[in-house]
Structure 1
Amino acid sequence: MDSLILLLLLVPLLLIAFRGSKQRKAVAQMQAEIAPGREVMTASGQFGVVTQVTDDRVEIEVAPGVSTWWLRQAIARTVEPVADPEDAEVADEHVVTDERPDGTPRSS
């Protein structure tokens, strides 16, 4: 009976450990595949584009002409580039106009 209770307690712990190991492997693989031109997010939430990669460091351009260096392990994930706002369709309810709903102009 005691061994059954021990087994019931051990199984969830093993499942949690296996899941964590799988996630760590996926993150390590993503960090190993970082290359210039990829948009990334650091663990602290900084977004930027990778411009240079050395053994354990990554240079990220966070604004035009502004680059910072990060440890490779600080890269949390790669992100898909944001679509150009000019290409995106804007929903009508988010468009601000200078007219009231009845068509008369708003006064300044």
Structure 2
Amino acid sequence: MNQLFLPLLLMLVVAIPLVMGSRKQKRAAQEQKNLQTSLSEGDRVMTTSGLYGTVADTSDETSIDIEIAPGVVTTWLRQAVREKVAPPVDEIEDETEESPEESPATSAEAITEAPAEEEKAGPQIAPPLEHGKK
């Protein structure tokens, strides 16, 4: 009995991670397939190469058209879509909104009386490099 226990235990130690890994892989593949079949026009997506765009046409079963810039539509395989992403937030509209009832003096007073806000947390973007200028 002891002679069979060690090999059996060794096989279980090897087999359990293999089975669990394959189940996780199958689940991820099914989720990716569901994503690719659920794409509809207007969805914002990212491709496997990191390109962001908006789905323009989903009439073909194997490929989709993605608009990567205004007026620029490219054709991609459905499998190239990695994930759906949230549409970009227009922060410019929020900054330019001002109620017509407030006068400039009132808004200036509110700014000076309000406590200074802490800087927004998040990535900071560096200015572009200027190549070739000496």
Q: Quickly name the TM-score band, shorter chain normalised.
A: 0.7 to 0.9
Mapping of residues 10-49 of structure 1, within 5 Å = 10-49=15-54
Counterpart position of 1:61 = 67
* Residue 88 of structure 1, CA deviation: 5.8
Q: Deviations over 1:47-105 (max 9, x none)?
A: 0000001111110000000111000011001111111122567x6536xxxxxxxxxxx
Structure having the larger proportion of residues in strand: 1
| TM-score of the superposed pair, with normalisation by structure 2 | 0.65
Q: Which has the larger radius of gyration?
A: 2
| TM-score of the superposed pair, with normalisation by structure 1 | 0.80
Aligned with 1:93 (options 119, 124, 129) = 119
Alpha-carbon distance between aligned partners in 1 of 2:21 and 2:94, rounded to the nearest angstrom: 41
Stretches of structure 1 that go unaligned for 5 or more consecutive residues are 95-108
Q: Percent identity?
A: 32
In the TM superposition, structure 1's runs of 4+ consecutive aligned residues that sit over 4 Å from their partners are none
Stretches of structure 2 that go unaligned for 5 or more consecutive residues are 1-5, 96-116, 121-134
Number of equivalences: 93
Compute the RMSD of aligned alpha carbons. 1.7
Structure having the larger proportion of residues in helix: 2
